[in-house]
Amino acid sequence: MYPLFSANITLNLQNSALLTCLLPNLSAILQLISSMASHSHRFLSIFIILAAFCLSRFSCCGGMEKEKTFAMIKPDGVYGNYSDKIKAIIMDSGFSIKRELRVQLDEDTVRSFYAEHSSKSFFPSLVKYMTSGPILVMILEKDNAVADWRKLIGPTDAEKAKVTHPQSIRAMCGLNTEKNCVHGSHSIQSASREMSFFFGMLVECMVFFYFIYFFIYFFLFYF
């Protein structure tokens, strides 16, 4: 299940190596390919580009990489202008921000994201809170990222966090058990699900449009 992004999307694909190279230089790449002498050379070059893209996608899951986790600055954090401060804490704590995306969630997306809590009494209130304004979602990377990010954000109840974990992010910008400013994945499995939930669809869309672009280009100019 993927989220429906309704508005207000800004995107940081800084570290998506091949996409970052390919997309801004698409017309230059197309010109280079079209200057090649034969159809076979052109199709070979397309094959190499797509294969490199697929390899880069697989390499994101390889064992050589550091652990990744999913982080979110919730509407109260964004609205309260805590985003830059939280990002500074993230960097100072040794994480690198691999991706980030500012997005306004709709109700269905929140219901899907927090499905594990759908039977809880606070669920309707949680849906209202999470749709009350834009959020900032991020992929963070470092050794032991999942556990370290959970530790950094502190307990769910921000009031309690102010007493027991005064250095935590929720102590700094959270208000109570619900409005607690930030989210963090509980486990490597949930991190994987949540990263795909927000960033999987985006990459698939970009690949889809990339393919469409190629097909239109070749049909118009070569057949």
Nearer to ligand RTP, 122 or 208 (CB): 122
User: How near is the Cβ of 165 to ligand RTP at its closest, in Å?
Assistant: 12
Helix 201-222 and helix 39-59: axis angle, to 10°?
180
Buried b / exposed e over 185-212, threshold 16 CB at 10 Å, is: beeeebbbebbebbbeebbeebeeebee
User: Is residue 183 annotated as part of the catalytic site, yes or no?
Assistant: yes
Buried b / exposed e over 8-25, threshold 16 CB at 10 Å, is: eeeeebeebeebeebeee
User: How near is the Cβ of 190 to ligand RTP at its closest, in Å?
Assistant: 9
Q: For 39, list phi and psi in degrees, rounded to 5.
A: -60, -40
Interaction mask 86-125, ligand RTP, x per CB under 6 A: -------------------------------x----x---
Nearer to ligand RTP, 167 or 177 (CB): 177
Nearer to ligand RTP, 39 or 128 (CB): 128
> How many angstroms separate the CA atoms of 134 and 8, rounded?
8
Q: Which of 75, 77, 134, 184 binds ligand RTP (CB under 6 A)?
A: 184
Residues with a known catalytic role: 183
Residues in touch with ligand RTP (CB under 6 A): 117, 122, 126, 156, 177-178, 180, 183-184
